[in-house]
Every structure is written in C-alpha cells, then in structure tokens.
Structure 1
Amino acid sequence: MDAFDEEMDLLVVGSGAAALTAAIVAADNHAKVAVIEKSDQFGGTSATSGGVIWIPASHLAKAAGADDSPDEAARYIDALAGVDAEPDRIRAFVDNAPRMLAYMEERTEVRYASIPYTDYHAELPGGKMGWRSHDPQPIDGRRLGDDLARLRPTHPAGMLFGRISWTAAEAAPMITRMPGWQKMLIRALWRHYSDIGQRLRSRRSRFLTSGNALLARLKLSLDARHVQIRYCHALDSLIKEDERVVGAVVRTPAGVRRIGARQGVILAAGGFERDAAMRGRHLTGSPDPAWSGSQGGNTGDAIRAAQQMGAATRRMDSAWWAPTIKVPKEDRARPLFFERSLPGSIIVDARGLRFLNEAASYHKAGEAMRNASGGQAWVILDARFKWRYPMGPLMPMIPAWMHPAAVRRILRKARSIRELAPQIGVDPDVLEDSVTRFNAHASRGEDPDFGRGQQPYDRYYGDPKVTPNPNLLPLEKAPFYALPVNAGDIGTNGGLATDAWARVLDDAGRPIEGLYAIGNSAASVTGRSYPGAGSTIGPAMTFGYIAARHATGAN
C-alpha cells in the first residue's frame, strides 16, 4: 500500500448540514477532522433549503407545550414507510434526534424554534398537528466575514420575491394573507432595503434565514473548533485495506492527493439527481436533471465511490419529489412548495385533465405527477389568483409584462379557458370541461374527485378568508394563465444502504468497516415517504451525530 500524503482521524466528504454536524461532533470527541467540498462554496443543498428540521419530541417542542414521544414518531414513520420500514434505523433516529438537537444547542451556535407546522400526514397514527418541525433562527451574515461570499445562496423559491430573506414564521402568514400580513411584508422589505451598505455591494441579504442561517451557524461552530473546509477538493475514490476503508483519493487544485482516515470516512455529499446518466437509469418518469430544484453539485460521486467498495444501495428509484417550474437560464428549477394549496388554480396533465390533489404535500404531488402525467403538466390560474398569490416565478400584484423576459417566455395567457387550451397543446373541450367541473364543486367548497382541502396539511397553506374550504375557489376571472410544471425533486432519497450507526452495508448486509453515509448519500430512514417539513435535514443531522460518535468511539 502506497503511503498517504497526509493522515486524519476522520474524513468528511461534503459540507452540508449533515457533514458539518458530523465534523463538529467528531472534533468534540478529539478527532483530527478534514472536511472536503468539491465546489468553491459550502453548505450544499442544505444551504439552499428552508433549513427546517423535523425532530420528534424535542426539548423545544416540550417547552412549547407539545405532547410527543419517540414511540409516537416511530409509529408514524412506520405507518408511512410501510414495506420499506427499517425498524432499527427508525428507532435510532427517533431516539437520537432530540439528543442531537439538544447537543447542538448546548455546544454550538445552532439555534432553532419549534413551530406549529403540521406533519404532512397528521391523520395517520402517531402524526401531529405541529411542533416537530423546527425553524432555524436568523443570524447576521457579517459574522461570517469573507465566508459570507462562500455560503451557497438560498434557492429563489425559498425567498420573498425570489430575493428577500424571510423566516418560516413570516412566510405562511404573508403567503396566505392572514391578519397582519401587510405589516410583516413592510418589515421584511424594510429589513432588506434599509441595509444600504449591503445593497450597494450585492443583491444578497446579510440577514440570514432558512438554510443559510443554519449553515452560517454550523460554519461558525466549525471555525471555533479550528476545522477547515477544503474547497475544490473532489472525492475520486475510496481506499480499502484489509476489508476496511482507510482513506480516499481526492482531486485538489494542487493535484491528486491520498488522504488517510484512521477512524473512518463519512460520505455526506448529497444524492445523484443532477447526474444525467444515474437519473435516466433510476428515476424513470423524471429523467431530466434540469427538472430538479437541487443544486448542481449533486452528481452521485460518493454513491459511486462506495459501490466500488462493494456497497449496497436501497430505493434508487426514489426522491424527495416536488412539482417544479423551470425558468430558462436559471441553474435549477423552482419547486412549488406551497402555491398549489392556494385557492383559484388547478393542475392538469397533457390531456387537460386533473389528476391529483393539488394541495397535497409537494412530495405527494410530485410523486403523482411522475406516476400519472408522464412527468409534465400545466398549472392553470385566473386573474384573481394572479393578483392575490404567488405561483413559482410569477409574483402577485405585479403585471405579467413587468416580469423578467425568461418568465414571460414560459407564461401562457388568454381571455378564456378555451383560448388557453391550444397554447398548452390540449383539446379545448377537455380543458373547458375540466375547469367547468372543478368550478361547480369549488363554488361549494368541495372536491369529490381528489379531496382537496380535506386533510390538515392541505389547509396549512390555504387562505383562511376563503370559506368553507380555504383551498378552493372557482377559476372565473379572465384573463387566464398557465405555466408548465414538471415532475421534479429537491434531491434523491434513495442511496447507500446503512445500519443504525450509519455504517454502509454490503450486499450481504454486513458493515463495510470505516465507511459511513449520511444525508442524501444514504437511503432515507423514512423510506419513500416524507413525514413533515424538515424530514430531509433532521435525519441527516441526526445520523451525522450518530456516525461521528460511532467512528470516534463515543457510542
């Protein structure tokens, strides 16, 4: 075996929330840690996201008066995961998630607030009407110094008007126009535009919220432990010796280097949704990487490297699905997280027919698109919706002609539903019949076809001023608009097979010693399901905590 160029105790691949959590915990356990990131920015998909984490039975939820337990959470995940349920991993997650959050709040800069955000399937056994989702607390980006420029920006879909930072507590009232929303809007606008110094430098805000706030706090905590992120360091392959992974071959600006890892390698480099070959092979019904709302670096490098070591995979055909709108020249698609719930719009397939409950969670809606619409559809809205609410890149209270040229290029507009039909390539009779049927029921607050507005989560982003169903209004006021929608995602959730300690498994179910996988590099602990807001980052950070403790001998 050739000598290493350098040796560490632990090598962490990636720089998202899972990776930095693992690095912090390992450093606290006296490990010499190296964090490598193949791009010139840190934060991964976590930084671009809402940063919410789904943590059952946390101390913050208890302080808010919530009644919850790990047993209830395990029952809920088991009900959702069904045949994909992995009891040992589920138990490891629900038991360690509250411990992880308490640890991070006690020993790092990470700060969260438990919020009354409904579980996506609260009607199932163990489901809750709120308090499992936790919102990251804002932070002044100036604390990062020069590293602010290296922090991967928030996705435009997660910002007010695509550019202004807001918190989850502000977003829902403003989107649904609940009482006081005008004051919240004015406060958010003032906060952004009154920062004259930053406005002169950049469109980017120094008031960090969402995933940017989480990653800023993690980066400050990592800095306090004198652990550096090595940028433009890409994983090439893993090194195995005597059936144990002992390091990695890494491509760096200075050339290829062999880095030894005495205690192990933790893979936290995201999924494979932006790799055309892997996506085409595994994500049938959603083959185009451009449909993904995820950042472009997620090309499956870590998964392929582990497979070369004999690693097994699970559910590679699964993703965190979401309907998305691709705006020309933007580097990623815009997920429709909440807009579909608002009253006065519908989604139709290429035939002009409705095929789903538009107000379902984005995961369920994206999954339905993949299965029933051939991956492509159209969202239809009327002038009343257009004035009141956002829809992807289409902003409320702003005339269509004032939107960017790229948005206008994909927008369709007509004086009637019948005139709109040929613009989106569907039979005018079919589309008109679909809208007529929907309108007749919506005027009574009913949706006998798909049950829109019947479940607790549906109503979370409904307009409470609309009765009797906050998710339903007929499409009546001309002009009418349409935007193309794709069966997209915010990341893959199938990946490397792991055990309750986040160790990667081979095809026989045996751990590959010295190799761990967390975040979207590993198959999700929730199977193909999406329990609630933060179900990606919550388990990712929890298994980062578990993996680091196991690798460094703390477990």
Structure 2
Amino acid sequence: MNNRAAESWDREVDVIVMGAGAAGMTAAIVSKNEGLVPLVLEKTDQVGGTTAWSVGMMWFVDSTPMQAAGFKDSPDKARQYFAATVGDTVDRSLQEAYISQGRVALDYMLRHSELEVAAVEYPDYSPELAGGMFGRAHAPIEFDARKLGPNFRNLRAPLPAFAPFGGMMLDLVDLLHFLSFTRSARSFVHVSKRLARYAVDRVNHHRGTRLVGGNALAGRLYKTMLDQKIDVWLQASATRLIMDDGKVIGAEVTRDGRKIRVRARRGIVIATGGYPGNQAMRREHSRQPTVELGLGLPSNVGEGLRLGESVGGRMDHNARDTGYYVPMSLFPDKAGNMQPWGHFMLDRPKPGFIAVGKDGNRFTNEAASYHAFTLGMFDAGAIPAYLIADAATVKKYGIGVILPGSLSLRRHEKAGYLFSGRTLGELASRIGVDPKGLARSVERNNRFAKTGVDEDFGKGSSAYNRYKGDPTHGPNPCLGPIEKGSFYAVKLMPGDFGTSRGLVTGPHGEVLDDHGRPIRGLYACGNDMNSPVGGHYIGAGITLGPALTFGYLAAMALARNDATEKPVNPELASPAEPNVKLA
C-alpha cells in the first residue's frame, strides 16, 4: 500500500460490515467478541433490515435447543434431507458448512449475545422425505424493547400486519387467543393482559415494547451491539470498494452528504439483504413473469452485490429459483395505498379452500408450503389465481386480511379486495374464470372432503399439510366442502419475501472470483451470498438460519486472519463519536 493511500484514510477499523440485518449484526457481534474493531454501515435510518419484518424463524440441525427439547436429529439425517430436497444444485462444501456449523454458530451466539431461542415442534416442509422431521425451526424468545432505552426508535418496526392497533405485536398464540376471547375465559384474560401492557407502552413509547418474531431477533442482536459498544453508522452506505495488491482494504462511504474513506484492516462483510427493491435486477435474475410483489425491504436494491462484482465477484446462476416465494393479495390501507398480504398459512391449508386459475381448475396442493404453492402458480400459468371458499369457511377461518368472524365483509368487497357471488356461476363471472371449470373443481373438492383423500393433488396427505390444517376437522384436516352461498374469492399473485441469488462464496462466506479463488478481504452473508439451499425452501427459517451461520463463519475467518497490519494513523483507529446516531 503506497503512502498516498495510507495518508488518505478518514477512519480505520478491522472490519466493515455492510448492513444491519441478522447476518450483518451477527458478523459484527462475533468480530467484536473475537477482539476485532467492527464498523457497521446501515444505509437506512434504522437497524433490523428485513429480519425485523419477518417471523424470525431460524433453521438449524441437531442444535443444543433441539436436544434440550427432546428432538432427535443428526448431521447425517440432515444430509439425507438435503440430498432429497436440494440435491447437487449447491456446492457440497457450502451445504456441509451450513449443516455442521449452523449449530456451532447458534451455540456461540447463545453464549455471547442476548439471543435466546426455542426449538419448536414445527415440521420441515417435506417431512415425508428421507431425513425430514419436526424440530429444526427455532423461534426467538420474545424481547422487552425497553432494554434498548432511547435506541428503541432506531429499531425497524414490524410490518403493520404483524402489529395491529398501531404497534402491538402478536405471535401465533396471541392471535388464537384474540380469535376466541369472547368464547373463552382463559383467552379473555390473555387478551386483557396484552391490551393492558400495550396501553401502558403507548403512554411512554412510540409502539408496543413486547417484541416477538423477527423484531425480537433483531432487537436482541441490536441490544448486544449496544452493550458491546459496536459503532453503527446510520444512513451511511459504501459506494466503492478500495483494493490494493488484489486485496479489499477499505471502502468509500457516503455519510451525511459527504464521502469518507474507511480502512478495513482485516476485510469487509457484505450483508445488504439482496435486491428485493430493484426491479431491474428482478427482471434480470428472477422467474418470468417477473415477481413484482414483495415483503422484502424496498431499500435493499443490490448495491452490495454490485460492489462485490466490481472487484471480481460473480453472481451464482446455478439455482432455477432465485427468490423465496409466497402468494400475495393486495389490500388498500387507510391511506388508500395497496399493501401486499402474504398467504402463508392462515387460509390456504384449511378445509373448505381451493385455489383455481382462469380456467377454473385447481392447479396444485393448497396446503403445500407458500414457496411450493407459488411455484405451482408459475408451472401452471395460474397468474393470477383465485382462492375460493364459501361463507361458512370464511366466517370460521377468515381469508387473507379478513379475520375469522368478521362482520365487515362488505367493506372489503367495496375496496375490491374480496369478490362474492350468490352462486358459483355469479362468482365466476365476477372474477373472470371459467364457470364450468370452477363448478367441476368444487364438485371434486366436495367429493374429496367426504372421503378424506384428494385424488388430484394430495392436499392433507403429508405431515406438513396436516400441521397447517384444522386438527378438529375430519376425516382430513385440510379438506372441507364448499357448499352454500354466498361464495367468496380473493385474487392471488406471486410474490416473495427475499431474493436468494447472491455472490458465489466459499464455505466461510469468502467471495470467489471467476476462477473460484477467494478475493482477499471480502466476504458475503445473508441474502447477498449464494443460497446454501440453492433457492429451495426446505423448512421454516431457511433464510435466517444461514444468515446467522455465515455471518458467524465470515467473522471467525476474519478473526483468524494472520494480519499484522497496524493502524496507519492511530488517531483514526478508535471512534471519537457516539455508538449510534440517535433518532
């Protein structure tokens, strides 16, 4: 490194981490715990990334929490499951790193951070395949945001759908209690406690302080960064990577309207969350027709990927599927803006629902995972598709944004979200599907509901299907009749909640060049690295599990570097300003 370059640094650290989602915060926490000085660059004015909008599940193999909960797993069992679901679409070393090191990364974070998780009795998405099982999904334990103090405002709020009443977070248990609080004394007490806590919160805070799901995960990681005094620059982003003798040694950063040159003595970790907000990259990399709806952060536009490519990195093109898909409907919010709603599990798998295309025919298993269901839409050309149910089913289970027992269906019809017809023919006319096809699909569904066997697509035939169905309904918890009008429909379009095509990396997250050689000093993790499951969605938490795993592995690799470089200017090596910029 020449003297001119050495004299031009405005700040020096060991590691620059680009992005403050789960992957980036993990890399920063591990770096600091291993004795390095990290600097986190977050382009927005809040930490948490898309993690804060998610349900927070993480997928790990044979972890300590799994063992404590009594789940019997092993790396060999997981390898069988990978072989059955992922196959050879992903380099074996990447698969092996995730299978064997994921539990190591989780243990490390449980020891050295505020992270707390529970292994839950939730199925892999293909539990009937070799190696599939229940228990690999890990949920973050709820978190009290009051522990963040004034920095709570710097944590990204959840999606409004996960926090009704202006910011009261609900998990699945809460939701079930809310749906039955007028019929159950136990539920009434549970709901009353939640509402009382929220009422107190709103006196002193901008939203509820009881965090669950992805917000709890992000909050716990952020609390650790605050405790460790990790420097975070909000509204700061890297615009250029600086190289010397083939090694990434720093970055040019835009912050507060000025450019700053930051030296990274060990290297840089790219964790900017992929490209869900970049329609041009979606058209370049995604399935056709391009998926335009998403629950990913709009500010994640792929700048980390482009920076990686600018110094010799390359995008992975092995996987056919480049996003984590979910069917979505669009509903108008109070301001009249159309918002996406992900149909994850609350309606499709339940008895009494079918999905049809324009020809009125069913095209896939409605109780399949959201990713598999959306692939079914693509494969059948069922874009848009329509979710169909009768009045009794909608009243019992709700549909889309409409909760069970809702008394205000008419306003959803007026808003153009819900379609209805007194007869199936009338409904078919209003949604533009073939009435004969719809009548035939309903007739077959009703016959299957009686026998309990879906002869067309096997709805309710797997443990995953049945888990998502209604256990009180028989003979099949996922099959129910569509019999009496009025009949209802909601329009479905393909969407995603993140992209899975990223920079090609090695098993420690090291970014590789066209010849498969590591670019010294450059790592990627989260949705900026090539998916260790090749874009397949094999279980709940298959984005955040790798995010923590490879954030940890990248940081440990940087910590192990036998780097003997000293600060060029010792005065720049320690921060002279607060840990974060307060909102």
Would you say same fold, with TM above 0.5? yes
1:277 alignment partner, SS class: helix
Q: CA deviation at 1:256?
A: 1.8
Q: 2:307 aligns with which of 290, 296, 305?
A: 305
C-alpha separation in 2, matches of 1:15 and 1:9? 17
State the match for 1:272 in structure 2. Answer: 275
Distance 1:274 1:183, change over 3 A: farther
Distance 1:29 1:138, change over 3 A: same
- Are 1:225 and 2:233 matched, yes or no? no
Written as runs of structure 1 = structure 2, the 5 A alignment for 1:135-284 is 135-158=139-162, 164-168=168-172, 183-184=186-187, 187-188=190-191, 190-200=193-203, 204-284=207-287
Task: Tell me if structure 2 keeps the 8 A contact 1:503–1:547.
Answer: yes
- Are 1:30 and 2:39 matched, yes or no? no
C-alpha separation in 1, matches of 2:163 and 2:132? 28
- Which consecutive residues of structure 2, in runs of 5 or more, have no partner in the other structure? 563-583
C-alpha separation in 2, matches of 1:467 and 1:450? 18
C-alpha separation in 1, matches of 2:323 and 2:178? 26
State the match for 1:131 in structure 2. Answer: 135
State the match for 1:365 in structure 2. Answer: 373
C-alpha separation in 1, matches of 2:323 and 2:184? 34
Give the structure-1-normalised TM-score.
0.93
Distance 1:74 1:554, change over 3 A: farther
Q: CA deviation at 1:74?
A: 2.2
C-alpha separation in 1, matches of 2:74 and 2:46? 38
State the match for 2:580 in structure 1. Answer: none
CA deviations over 1:402-438 (Å, ceiling 9, x no partner): 7579x83221111121101121111222222222222
C-alpha separation in 2, matches of 1:161 and 1:319? 31
Distance 1:331 1:51, change over 3 A: farther
C-alpha separation in 1, matches of 2:128 and 2:169? 32
CA deviations over 1:356-402 (Å, ceiling 9, x no partner): 10100111112222232354211112111211113321111112347
- Which consecutive residues of structure 1, in runs of 5 or more, have no partner in the other structure? none
State the match for 1:492 in structure 2. Answer: 499
Q: CA deviation at 1:159?
A: 5.2
**Superposition RMSD on alpha carbons, in Å?**
2.4
State the match for 2:65 in structure 1. Answer: 60
- Are 1:6 and 2:34 matched, yes or no? no
State the match for 2:352 in structure 1. Answer: 344
Distance 1:413 1:14, change over 3 A: same
1:322 alignment partner, SS class: strand
Q: 1:470 aligns with which of 466, 477, 480?
A: 477
Distance 1:229 1:221, change over 3 A: same
Aligned length, in residue pairs: 550
Task: Tell me if structure 2 keeps the 8 A contact 1:120–1:533.
Answer: yes
CA deviations over 1:59-90 (Å, ceiling 9, x no partner): 11111111111221122123211230321111
The 10-residue stretch of structure 1 (420-429 or 492-501) with the greater mean CA deviation from structure 2 = 420-429
Corresponding letter in the other structure for 2:13: M
2:471 alignment partner, SS class: coil
C-alpha separation in 2, matches of 1:135 and 1:271? 23
C-alpha separation in 1, matches of 2:67 and 2:173? 19
Q: CA deviation at 1:165?
A: 2.2
Q: 2:537 aligns with which of 530, 543, 550?
A: 530
Corresponding letter in the other structure for 2:261: R
C-alpha separation in 1, matches of 2:184 and 2:521? 51
Q: CA deviation at 1:55?
A: 1.1
1:393 alignment partner, SS class: coil
Q: CA deviation at 1:273?
A: 1.9
State the match for 2:468 in structure 1. Answer: 461
Give the structure-2-normalised TM-score.
0.89
C-alpha separation in 2, matches of 1:21 and 1:238? 22
State the match for 1:105 in structure 2. Answer: 110
Distance 1:58 1:465, change over 3 A: same
CA deviations over 1:522-554 (Å, ceiling 9, x no partner): 111011211211111011101101000001117
C-alpha separation in 1, matches of 2:274 and 2:368? 24
C-alpha separation in 1, matches of 2:376 and 2:184? 32
Q: CA deviation at 1:34?
A: 0.6
Identity %: 36
Q: CA deviation at 1:287?
A: 1.9
Distance 1:202 1:7, change over 3 A: closer
Distance 1:510 1:176, change over 3 A: farther
1:552 alignment partner, SS class: helix
State the match for 1:383 in structure 2. Answer: 391
- Are 1:19 and 2:27 matched, yes or no? no
1:409 alignment partner, SS class: coil
Q: CA deviation at 1:288?
A: 4.5
State the match for 1:433 in structure 2. Answer: 440
Q: CA deviation at 1:327?
A: 2.1
The 10-residue stretch of structure 1 (71-80 or 338-347) with the greater mean CA deviation from structure 2 = 71-80
Task: Tell me if structure 2 keeps the 8 A contact 1:175–1:461.
Answer: no
Give the structure with higher Rg (CA).
Answer: 2
Q: CA deviation at 1:451?
A: 0.4
Task: Tell me if structure 2 keeps the 8 A contact 1:175–1:389.
Answer: no
Corresponding letter in the other structure for 1:263: R
Task: Tell me if structure 1 keeps the 8 A contact 2:287–2:322.
Answer: no
C-alpha separation in 2, matches of 1:99 and 1:156? 34
CA deviations over 1:438-467 (Å, ceiling 9, x no partner): 222223222111000001111111101110
Corresponding letter in the other structure for 1:69: S
C-alpha separation in 2, matches of 1:285 and 1:237? 32
Distance 1:258 1:330, change over 3 A: farther
1:496 alignment partner, SS class: coil
C-alpha separation in 2, matches of 1:27 and 1:418? 64
Distance 1:498 1:49, change over 3 A: same
Distance 1:169 1:195, change over 3 A: closer
